[in-house]
Amino acid sequence: MSIFKRAFLYVTRKRGKTILLFAILLIMATFVLTGLSIWKASEAAQLDLRQSLGGKFDVFVDWSNSPYVVKEPVKDEVDEETGKTSSSFLMYSTVQFTPENITAIKGVSGVKYCSARQDNLLPFDGLSLFPGTISTDAKYQGYTKVLGVCNTEDDELFTTGTLTLAEGRHISDNDTHVAIISQDLAERNELKIGDYLTAHRYSVEDQGFTGPEIRVQIIGLFTPHAVEQFGETVTTYDKIQNRVFVDLQTSKEFDGGEINYGFSALHVTIDDPQDMARVVAEVKALPGIDWKAFTVEVDNETYENAAAPLATLNELVVTLLVVIIVVSAIILALILTLWTKTRIHEIGVFLSVGIRKSAIIGQYLIEVLLIAVLAFGLSYFTSNTIAGQIGNHLLEQSMQTEPEDDNDVVSVAASVEIGADNLVQKPLPTENGIQVSVGLDNFAQLYLIGLAIVIVAVSTSSITVMRLKPREILSKMS
């Protein structure tokens, strides 16, 4: 008689035991499957959250410690009203980031964007600006903020969707003497793509933009996601519609000197804030960047605050899952051991008719597996019912434990500012709750885990069989 036939006969004829074992395995599988699906959901929610938060760090000149920082006195200035003499200094680093550095950083895996800007406040000839809501120094009237970038596509204002390129193209690495302005500014000045703007090089003598003429061609127009709200204070040069993007080369020319040949600060955006430490380490290991000159500042607090409740939930679920698996294995092993002890006469008969011990244990394994396959199958339905409820309950709990933190996160996330540019923030995904459902992958995992548990339990319980020496058979049977 084959091992399968024997196992089948046992399972079908010993109905009481079969039903009991089925119930135990069903409960066990339901717990495991529920745990697995909640785990998956919480992992997915974490990933989702991380990716939507992203991560950011800044790399900038270490003004206080860098040996390359130079401080030069500029000619003294006499305040016309007070008559006081104020001496100002020009402070700069002789080591700066080059476009090559930016390209290298962008090549580090996990880095989404790396952007850098030179900024200047300068006037363009005949350009009519949108007036701000607060007045500025007379000197700065007619000035606007000009950002010199390697490419606009990577600039934070564009990557966050705060600005959108409405017409034309982005400024890219090889462009020179090009500009992107707002559509509003273009309309106000009746400018269109292909037209030129004119400004002048900075003159150290005159302390103003009075040097030779520099012409830039407009290659793109942007529209802002929103302009400043009514009642919000903003200077003319900070007003988003007055913003002008130019290429790095042009920016350097505006600047006039040889001093600012690159960038003194970089802004790096990464895909997954969990990777922060690794990405920073890899960036620091890049050749061609002299780290004596720069320092890194990581702001991962947003992520850490937002991820904390979910990470706690995740840890809880994993711990629970391990406990469930271990307890299941122990319970199953105990029950099977008890049952195997009652099967000692059967073992004696099998051994006496020449059935090997391995075949006897194999039969026990098949018996449990036959029942397990059915119980695991049914657990798909039971866990689907339970998983949704438990999952949402757990999530609610973990979110409720730190409600203030959670609000903080949202407000922090919504108010990240660069100058007066309010960056557009996407809503965090956890606000929509976790979707828990039992997937096929969980089902496959259950079968693997279940198989392991059953094998462990059957092996443990088979010690009775393994220990039985043939010479004990006769005495055990009377």
Partner 1 sequence: MPTLELKNVSYAYEKGKAVLQNVSGALETGKMYAILGPSGSGKTTLLSLLGGLDVPTQGSVLFDGEDITTKGLEHHRRSHISLIFQSYNLIDYMTPVENVWLTAKLDAAPILERLGLEQDEITRNVLKLSGGQQQRVAIARALASNAPVILADEPTGNLDADTAEEITAILKESAHTFGKCVVVVTHSGEVAKQADVVLEIKRGHLKEREM
Contact range with partner 1 by CB under 8 A, out of 171-179, 285-293, 349-357, 442-450: 349-357
Tokens encoding 286: 């890049």
Q: Is 19 in the site for partner 1 (CB under 8 A)?
A: no
For residue 62, give both structure tokens: 């270490």
Residue span binding partner 1 (CB under 8 A) among the ranges 130-138, 189-197, 301-309, 353-361:
353-361
CB of 353 to partner 1, least distance (A): 5
Q: How far is the CB of 357 from partner 1 (least distance, A)?
A: 10
Residue of 35, 55, 168, 348 that binds partner 1 (CB under 8 A): 348
Looking at 345, 393, 400, 448, which residue binds partner 1 (CB under 8 A)? 345
* Piece of the chain touching partner 1 by CB under 8 A; list 174-182, 247-255, 323-331, 354-362: 354-362
Site pattern 381..420 for partner 1 (x: CB under 8 A): ----------------------------------------
Query: Which part of the chain contacts partner 1 (CB under 8 A), choosing from 8-16, 34-42, 105-113, 281-289?
Result: 8-16
* Residue 323 touching partner 1 (CB under 8 A): no
> Does residue number 14 form part of the binding site for partner 1 (CB under 8 A)?
yes
Q: Which is nearer to partner 1, 1 or 440 (CB)?
A: 1
Stretch that binds partner 1, among 29-37, 117-125, 333-341, 352-360 (CB under 8 A): 352-360
Residue 68 to residues 59, 260, 288, 478: CA-CA distances in angstroms?
Answer: 16, 13, 15, 96
Q: Residue 475, interface with partner 1 (CB under 8 A)?
A: yes
Which residue shows structure tokens 């920073």?
A: 280
Cβ-based nearer residue to partner 1, 71 or 471: 471
Confirm or reject binding of residue 265 to partner 1 (CB under 8 A): no
- The verdict on 470 binding partner 1 (CB under 8 A) reads yes
CA–CA distances in Å: residue 234 to residues 130, 131, 177:
11, 9, 28
If one asks whether residue 473 binds partner 1 (CB under 8 A), the answer comes out as: yes
Q: What is the dihedral of CA 137, 140, 145, 146, to 10 degrees?
A: -150
Single out the residue of 353, 404, 411, 467 in contact with partner 1 (rule: CB under 8 A). 353
- In the complex, the smallest distance separating the C-beta of residue 455 from partner 1, rounded to whole angstroms, is 23
Of 86, 229, 411, 478, the one binding partner 1 (CB under 8 A) is 478
Residue 471 interacting with partner 1 (CB under 8 A): yes
Told to check if 467 binds partner 1 by CB under 8 A, we report: no
From candidates 349, 359, 418, 444, binder to partner 1 by CB under 8 A: 349
Interface stretch with partner 1, choices 209-217, 351-359, 411-419, 457-465 (CB under 8 A) = 351-359
Whichever of 363 and 422 has its CB closer to partner 1, that residue is 363
- Contacts of partner 1 in 100-159 (CB under 8 A): none
Asked if 466 is part of the footprint of partner 1 (rule: CB under 8 A), the reply reads no
Is residue 474 a contact point for partner 1 (CB under 8 A)? yes
Asked if 87 interacts with partner 1 (CB under 8 A), we say: no
Q: Does 1 bind partner 1 (CB under 8 A)?
A: yes
Residue 281 is a binding residue for partner 1 (CB under 8 A): no
3-state SS, the chain, equals: CCHHHHHHHHHHHCHHHHHHHHHHHHHHHHHHHHHHHHHHHHHHHHHHHHHHHCEEEEEEECCCCCCCEEEEECCCEECCCCCCEECCEEEEECCCECHHHHHHHHCCCCEEEEECCEEEEEECCCCCCCCCCCCCCHHHCCEEEEEEECCCCCCHHHHCCCEEEEEECCCCCCCCCEEEEEHHHHHHCCCCCCCEEEEECCECCCCECCCCEEEEEEEEEEEECCCCCCCCCCCCCCCHHHCEEEEHHHHHHHHCCCCCCCECEEEEEECCHHHHHHHHHHHHCCCCCCCCCEEEEEECHHHHHHHHHHHHHHHHHHHHHHHHHHHHHHHHHHHHHHHHHCCHHHHHHHHHCCCCHHHHHHHHHHHHHHHHHHHHHHHHHHHHHHHHHHHHHHHHHHHHCCHHHHHHHHHHHHCCEECCEECCCCCCHHHHCCCCCCCHHHHHHHHHHHHHHHHHHHHHHCHHHHHCCHHHHHHHCC
Residues 6 or more apart in contact with residue 352 via CB below 8 angstroms = 473
Least distance CB 1 / partner 1 (angstroms): 5
- Contact 368/460 with Cβ under 8 angstroms? no
**Residue 195 binds partner 1 (CB under 8 A):** no
Q: How far is the CB of 10 from partner 1 (least distance, A)?
A: 5
Enumerate binding residues for partner 1 (CB under 8 A): 1, 9-10, 13-14, 345-346, 348-356, 470-471, 473-475, 477-478
